[in-house]
């Protein structure tokens, strides 16, 4: 299934994408795409429905983030071998983890705000995992059963905040609007091989990232297993899993977003995003 949320910010409703590309309202079935609505039992009930039995949404409403009320937004750094190479970093022996602020999550086509004082705002197309049943101490062989689905994430980053201000990466990762998610939450049964999906990103029509999940150092199942050794993964938690090469920081000289750019990105089978980057206005 391809699940999504539509409507004005803060007023989104859950929906299902039907075979013809229409939106079918799920608000009579689940309150939102959040928490317990993302467990295996809940998703099975939705899958059993006939899409034609659900109300068809009219018009072209705004698409919101594909998951709501995220409590834990976990990110993985330097998880693509070719991206690590472009930054000059060593291949990590274990996953590098940090957090993005859950309240930085926005819809896939919403504006992204360049933070006040930013000089080095950057882009990162990433595969995100949305947790379903979750748990602690999950075995790698059981990890896919703990996942509700996958989506596209733009892990927008401010490199000066991240690398030049001391402390952890979180400073440059959780600014408001730095977490576009969606358009769809694609359930695991619809993804043939999560470790073989093309992914790309363009800035003003120029393709700058062109990679594949096959170059991930630590795959999706391993990451769920690994992270669950340190924290409990709850339904609706999001793990964004790293980016392929082509980020602005990797250019010589580096290239960063100043405002006025249009960034488009996508992952094979998971949909596309498009954001206008706009300067901060106090």
pLDDT tens-digit readout, 104-153 = 999 999 999 999 999 999 999 999 999 999 999 999 999 999 999 999 99
Q: Which residue has the tokens 């790309």?
A: 200
What is the β-pairing status of strands 198-203 and 206-212? antiparallel
Q: How far apart are the first and last CA of the chain?
A: 41
Q: Based on DSSP, count helices (H) and strands (E) in the chain, helices before strands.
A: 4, 18
Q: HSE-up of 134 (CA within 13 Å, CB side)?
A: 21
The 10s digit of each residue's pLDDT in 4-55 is: 999 999 999 999 999 999 999 999 999 999 999 999 999 999 999 999 999 9
Q: What is the mean pLDDT of the chain?
A: 96
Contact 181, 148 (CB under 8 A): no
Which has the closest alpha carbon to 183: 269, 73, 69? 269
Q: Identify the H or E element spanning 15.
A: strand 13-17
pLDDT tops 90 at residue 169: no
Measured CA to CA, the distance from residue 75 to residue 155 in angstroms comes to 9
> Which runs of E-coded beta strand occur in 55-184?
73-77, 96-99, 105-106, 112-114, 121-122, 125-131, 147-154, 157-158, 179-180
pLDDT tops 80 at residue 88: no
Measured CA to CA, the distance from residue 267 to residue 126 in angstroms comes to 8
* Dihedral angle sign, alpha carbons of residues 267, 272, 277, 282: negative
Q: How many CB atoms lie within 10 A of CB 89?
A: 12
Residues contacting residue 13 through CB under 8 Å, at least 6 positions apart: 5, 6, 7, 25, 26, 27, 32
Whole-model pTM over 0.95: yes
**Phi/psi at 104 (nearest 5 deg)?**
-90, -5
């Amino acid at each position: 299934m391809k699940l999504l949320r539509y409507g004005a910010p803060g007023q989104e409703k859950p929906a299902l994408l039907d075979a013809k590309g229409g939106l079918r309202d799920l608000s009579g079935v689940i309150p939102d795409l959040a928490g317990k609505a993302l467990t295996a039992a809940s998703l099975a009930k939705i899958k059993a429905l006939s899409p034609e039995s659900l109300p068809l949404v009219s018009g072209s409403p705004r698409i919101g983030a594909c998951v709501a009320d995220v409590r834990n937004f976990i990110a993985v750094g330097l998880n693509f071998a070719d991206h690590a190479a472009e930054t000059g970093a060593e291949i990590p022996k274990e996953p590098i983890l940090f957090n993005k602020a859950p309240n930085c999550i926005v819809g896939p086509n919403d504006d992204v705000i360049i933070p006040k004082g930013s000089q080095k705002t950057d882009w990162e197309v990433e595969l995100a995992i949305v947790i379903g049943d979750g748990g602690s101490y999950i075995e790698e062989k059981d990890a896919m059963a703990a996942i509700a689905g996958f989506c596209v994430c733009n892990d927008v980053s401010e490199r000066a905040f991240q690398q030049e201000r001391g402390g952890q990466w979180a400073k440059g990762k959780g600014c408001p609007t730095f977490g576009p998610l969606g358009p769809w939450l694609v359930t695991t049964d619809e993804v043939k091989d999560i470790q073989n999906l093309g992914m790309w990103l363009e800035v003003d029509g120029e393709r700058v990232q062109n990679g594949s999940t096959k170059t991930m150092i630590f795959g999706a199942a391993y990451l769920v297993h690994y992270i669950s050794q340190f924290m409990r993964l709850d339904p609706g938690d999001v793990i964004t899993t790293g980016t392929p090469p082509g980020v602005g920081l990797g250019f010589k000289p580096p290239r960063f977003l100043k405002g006025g750019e249009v960034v488009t990105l996508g992952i094979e089978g998971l949909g596309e995003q498009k954001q206008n980057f706009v300067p901060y206005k106090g």
